[in-house]
Amino acid sequence: MFTDIFLESINILLKFDRDIYSIIYLSVFVSVTAILISSFISLPIASILVTKDIYLKNILIIIINSLMSVPPVVVGLVLYLLLSYRGVLGHLNLLYTSIAMIIAQIIITLPIIISLSRETLDRYYSVYKDYFISIKMNNVDILQTMIWETRHSLSINVLAGLGRALSEVGAIIIVGGNIDNLTRVMTTSIVLETSRGEFAKAMSLGIALLVISIIISFLIFIFRYFNEKKYE
């Protein structure tokens, strides 16, 4: 049975089924968009936590680290209440749209990228802090220098966040609604097709998700290799 389902799932992928690939495209689009926005927000925050002695800094770091373990379903529930028609942001009509899914993934990946990037930037800043002070470099130049010099390590952090976003189910299905041709992504489709008994379709999407995960892992390996090569 498994062999038959596996072969049929491969056949579905090789036929370039339009529905399957539209789901794959939407999944990648939503996750990549969320990660780009999340990274744009996370890197300055991580830099501030490293370079500035702000009030209750250690408490903020603990809170950010703790947010990494918050169940995505809880994030989805809170966001649903905010975006529902009776919610504070209900007038925006974002519930059950791809924008709502992007927002959910941004919220989920923000603490991951901030925490990992803070550790990366902290290691670099601790070495060059006195140099930055001696030449009176401004905050913007410090941020640009740190991001450039640690770009390989930061890329690994971003890719880790992307992998987390692509594998998300709970929050996405709550705020997206798993609507066909609108908000249906790979993870929610796998759940749906499995419940329908369409195991070949579910497995084809699972294979696609696995391939994307392997590509991400390979990219992480490449960035890590160049990062280690830099310090040889």
3-state SS, 56-86, equals CHHHHHHHHHHHCCCCHHHHHHHHHHHHCCC
CB-CB contact of 41 with 171 (8 Å): no
CATH of domain 2-230: 1.10.3720.10
CB-CB contact of 157 with 34 (8 Å): no
Mean model confidence pLDDT for the chain: 89
pLDDT of residue 207: 93
Other Cβ atoms less than 10 A from the Cβ of 148: the count is 9
Three-state SS at 17: coil
Mean pLDDT of 126-143: 85
Check whether 231 has a pLDDT greater than 70.
Answer: no
- Tens of pLDDT, residue by residue over 8-65, are 888 988 888 888 999 999 999 999 999 999 999 999 899 889 888 877 888 888 999 9
Q: Where are the domains of the chain?
A: 2-230
CA distance 164 to 68: 11
Tokens of 181: 């041709």
CA distance 146 to 61: 19
CA distance 20 to 168: 18
Q: 87 φ, ψ to 5°? A: -80, 175
Whole-prediction pTM: 0.90
